[in-house]
Amino acid sequence: MTRVQRARFIQTLAVGITGAAAVFIIAAALFLLVYIVVRGLPGISWAFLTESPSGQMKEGGIYPVIVGTLYLIAFTALFSLPVGVAAGIYLSEYAARGPATRAIRLAISNMAGVPSIVYGLFGLALFVILLDFGKSILAGALTLACLTMPVIITATEEALRQIPSDLRQASLALGATRWRTIYRIVLPAAGPGIVTGSILGLSRAAGETAPILFTAAVYYKRQLPDSIFSDVMALPYHIYILATQVTGRPDDIIWGTALVLVAGVTLLSVLAAAWRSRQRRKVRW
């Protein structure tokens, strides 16, 4: 082979390998999705979505399970969004570059790297036992909020960083304070990015089992939760229970539950993406 032929061969090989990797990813994602839909769809019915489990989990629907997860996510959002967005604003707009800020950033990326089961143990120790919230929506949502916070902080910081410094300068030069500049100019422009990033963080929390294992989720509960101190059933934990603890359970129920969880999370991401692209068309620079 001449040098040119060899170069051309390597070029073809590079296209082939990188392309194959891309195709593999798409195929894996598609397979996963299609498999869940095919296995789950037969179990989905109006009754499945609106009835409680019965017959020792082998019959009935998952209505309280869905409600439990919705409560958990709503309260997780309530706890993590204000703090996460505020911390992101502080880091992006106010914090001076220095060792303290570097330490905060390091802490945040460490928080993001902690395994979720460790958050579960942490939540058990702090919220369930020490603060005596018991196994409850409150304890579970606080634990999930710890898990989601770094994602929201990072998303907020990234979104704020996208806003040209021109705009901040223009506002400051008109006699606006830093805070007015942030809430009138910077935040509205960064809103779509913050919301999208936060929703991705929250949808990850929706699918987590480990953090709620000791802090919120129960095997079976007859009534719907009536306060934030109630324990709840939750989709990921329900799947885990069905898969490991219930012998002779029908496949339809377990795959149907999985499909509901995946569909819910996907719906959130799609809504976030659609909203963002609408905002993008409205605001550009």
Partner 1 sequence: MVTENQQTIRGSFELKDVSVTYGVETAIAGVSMDIPPNAVTALIGPSGCGKSTLLRCLNRMNDELGNATVGGRILLDGVDVYAKEYDPVELRTKVGQVFQKPNPFPMTIYDNVAYGPRTQGIRKRAQLDEVVERSLTRSALWGEVKKDLKKHAFELSGGQQQRLCIARALATEPEVVLMDEPASSLDPISTQQIEDTIAELKENVTIVIVTHNMQQAARISDLTAFMLRETMEAPAFLVEVGETRAMFTNPGDKRTEAYITGRFG
Q: Which residues bind partner 1 (CB under 8 A)?
A: 96-97, 164, 166-167, 169-177, 180, 184-185, 188-189, 283-285
Residue 21 or 173 having the CB closest to partner 1: 173
Residue 97 or 222 having the CB closest to partner 1: 97
Residue 132 or 166 having the CB closest to partner 1: 166
**Gap between the Cα atoms of 90 and 112, Å rounded:** 18
Residue 166 or 226 having the CB closest to partner 1: 166
Q: Least CB distance from residue 217 to partner 1, whole Å? A: 44
Residue 6 or 184 having the CB closest to partner 1: 184
**Gap between the Cα atoms of 93 and 186, Å rounded:** 10
How many other C-beta atoms lie within 10 A of the C-beta of residue 227? 8
Return the amino acid letter for 100. A
Q: Least CB distance from residue 166 to partner 1, whole Å? A: 4
**Gap between the Cα atoms of 184 and 27, Å rounded:** 44
Q: What are phi and psi of 217, to 5 degrees?
A: -85, 140
Q: Tokens 């390998």 belong to which residue?
A: 17
Residue 114 or 283 having the CB closest to partner 1: 283
Residue 1 or 174 having the CB closest to partner 1: 174
Q: To the nearest 10°, report the CA torsion of 212, 218, 221, 224.
A: -10
Show Cβ contacts of residue 124 under 8 Å, excluding neighbours closer than 6 positions: 214, 215
Residue 192 or 197 having the CB closest to partner 1: 192
